[in-house]
Structures are given as C-alpha cells and as structure tokens.
C-alpha cells in the first residue's frame, strides 16, 4: 500500500470513529443500531464539532484518494489543519460530560489514529511534489 493511500485510510478511520457522534435521533422515532431499527428513547443532537471534523476528514480523504501524490501546498494545509495547534484536529476531543464512556473510548481510538496520521504525514513529506 502506498504512503498516500495509507494516509487516506487513516483519515477514513478517524471519520469512522466520529460517525456515532454526528447522528441525530428524535424520541419516539426509530434508529438503526447496527442490527435493526430500534425505538429511540431520548432525543440526541449531533455534536457540531464532531460533525465538522467528520466532514473535513471525509472530504480530505475523498480528494486525496483520487491523486497520485501531494503538492507542497496540500501538505502544508494538511499539516496545519490536522496538527497545527489550537483548533486543529490534534486539539479535538469529544466531551465526556455529554457522551460519557463512549467519548472516552472514541477519544482513545482517535488518539491512536492521530499518532499514526502524524507518522504517515511525516513520511509523505519525502514524496511531496515540489513547489512550482
């Protein structure tokens, strides 16, 4: 598997980890629980930050999966958005007060994925298309 395709897979993994937190469900309705449609006992609103990161990660993945290598500008953008400090993906975590133990498990998974994403991004630096 190429370095870029590994990076894209990690973006997909991160988006997948956020998926349970981006859904909304209204009390009295039904929602897919992975096996069947089950009654919704309480209203759940999506986490707006999880939704924003899910969308961004999904978009990054979709765009990058259709090209053979990164440009220098794309590399800089990814580095800034994913690992650029406050407001970056590195700084994101789900709220334990709102989501409980589910957030703990997801935050742990996201931490592992972020570590791999960073290593993968550093490896991509070697094959970035030079600026023109």
pLDDT, tens digit (0-9, with 9 covering 90-100), for 92-120: 999 999 999 999 999 999 999 999 999 99
> How many domains does the chain divide into?
1
**Which band of pLDDT confidence, cut at 50, 70 and 90, is reported for residue 125?**
confident
Note the pLDDT tens digit of each residue in 23-38. Answer: 877 777 776 666 778 7
Does 131 have pLDDT greater than 70?
A: no
Q: Is residue 115 within 8 Å of 76, Cβ to Cβ?
A: no
What is the torsional sign of CA 36, 94, 58, 24? positive
Does 132 have pLDDT greater than 60?
A: no
Give bridge partners of residue 44 from the DSSP assignment. Answer: 25
User: Exposed, middle or buried, 68 (CB in 10 Å: 0-12/13-18/19+)?
Assistant: exposed
Report d(CA 44, CA 73) in Å as an integer: 39
Write out the two tokens for 107.
Answer: 């935050």
The domain in which residue 36 lies consists of 3-127
**Which band of pLDDT confidence, cut at 50, 70 and 90, is reported for residue 130?**
low
Three-class secondary structure of residue 32 per DSSP: strand
Say if 132 falls within a structural domain.
no
């Amino acid at each position: 598997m190429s370095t870029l395709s590994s990076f894209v897979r990690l973006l997909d993994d991160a988006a997948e980890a956020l998926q349970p937190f981006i859904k909304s469900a209204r009390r009295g309705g039904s929602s897919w629980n992975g096996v069947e449609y089950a009654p919704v006992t309480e209203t759940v609103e999506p986490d707006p930050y999880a939704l924003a990161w899910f969308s961004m990660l999904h978009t990054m993945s979709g765009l990058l999966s259709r090209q053979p290598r990164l440009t220098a500008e794309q590399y800089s953008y990814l580095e800034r958005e994913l690992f650029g400090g406050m407001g970056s993906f590195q700084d994101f975590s789900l709220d334990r007060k709102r989501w409980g133990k589910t957030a703990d498990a997801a935050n742990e998974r996201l931490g592992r994925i972020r570590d791999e994403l960073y290593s993968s991004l550093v490896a991509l630096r070697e094959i970035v298309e030079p600026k023109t």
